[in-house]
Amino acid sequence: MDRPTRCPSGGLLLDVRDEGPSHGAPVLLLHGFPQDRTCWDRVTPVLHDAGLRTLAPDQRGYSPGARPTGRGAYRLELLVEDAVAVLDAAGLERAHVVGHDWGGIVAWALAAHRPERAASLTVASVPHPRALARSLARSGQGLRSAYVGAFQLPRVPEALLRPRLGELLHRSGLPAAEAARYAARMEEPGALTGALNWYRALPLSRLRTGPVDVPTTYAWGNRDLALGRRAAELTAGHVRGPYRFVELDAGHWLPETRPGLLARLVAERAGDPGGTAGRG
């Protein structure tokens, strides 16, 4: 079957990069905000060398052919449907699912609600959503997450972010080249609003992510400015399958700053989906 470069989903077209050994075990790579599929550029060569095939879409709001108007078009259940549509377009029953940042939230939800499509799960940075919610009242996570409330405003976040997005990303620990590239991508018509609509759709989403049964690895950087230790440690209570928690001496942007290590964690989980090493 030909590898798709554009994937239909609900009347939209997602751009997809499908690379690596054609018969390798597939890995679905889901980027976060305000990244795009290029965030995996230093991760995928290591995965390919390990014999894995990678599928990295520009998700809803990021692909030029998938920027619907209105925040309701960015509900979590639709983002999960997009991820499943990428697998369907490639003729794949399931894949090892990997997500960073917002892509991690989609990955958690996919593994919880469509476990038959996830051979395993590897999430970078973002804890299980219920662990994150539990941490808000008993840690400093509420302050760390205050920007989510600010993003609910119409138009104002776009006006404030657009002229200084690259600088803010770099100050948060993202390398300068990637910060400039992502900021330039957000200058495309509708791109920044589409990306922010992921946050604005949170109150409208009907999908509530439950416990995860698939084998899972969760990697968290202990210098992450947005996501604190309490939620990271609580995540174990929301995974019922084989689980591994890896604390890194790193910040938030793991695909860009720790690509080799992250790739190794993905390859290890894909090579041992049953988690014979157990929880730890």
- DSSP string of 74-130, one letter each residue: G-HHHHHHHHHHHHHHTT-S-EEEEEETHHHHHHHHHHHH-GGGEEEEEEESPPPHH
pLDDT reported for residue 137: 82
DSSP code of 2? P
CB burial readout 191-202, b (16+ within 10 A) else e: bbbbbbbbbbbb
pLDDT reported for residue 158: 97
Which one of 62, 74, 182, 199 is the catalytic residue? 199
118-124/95-100 β-pairing: parallel
Which one of 101, 182, 224, 238 is the catalytic residue? 101
Identify whether 101 is a catalytic site residue.
yes
pLDDT reported for residue 114: 98
pLDDT reported for residue 272: 75
206 to 56, 65, 97, 102, 258: CA distances (angstroms)? 26, 25, 22, 17, 34
pLDDT reported for residue 275: 56
Write down the residue that tokens 């604390």 correspond to: 247
Identify whether 100 is a catalytic site residue.
no
Average pLDDT across each block of 10 residues of the chain; the chain has 280 residues. List them in order. 82 97 97 98 98 98 97 98 97 97 98 98 98 91 94 96 97 97 97 98 94 98 96 98 98 98 98 57
Which one of 31, 96, 113, 252 is the catalytic residue? 252
pLDDT reported for residue 2: 65
Identify whether 15 is a catalytic site residue.
no
pLDDT reported for residue 3: 78
pLDDT reported for residue 1: 53
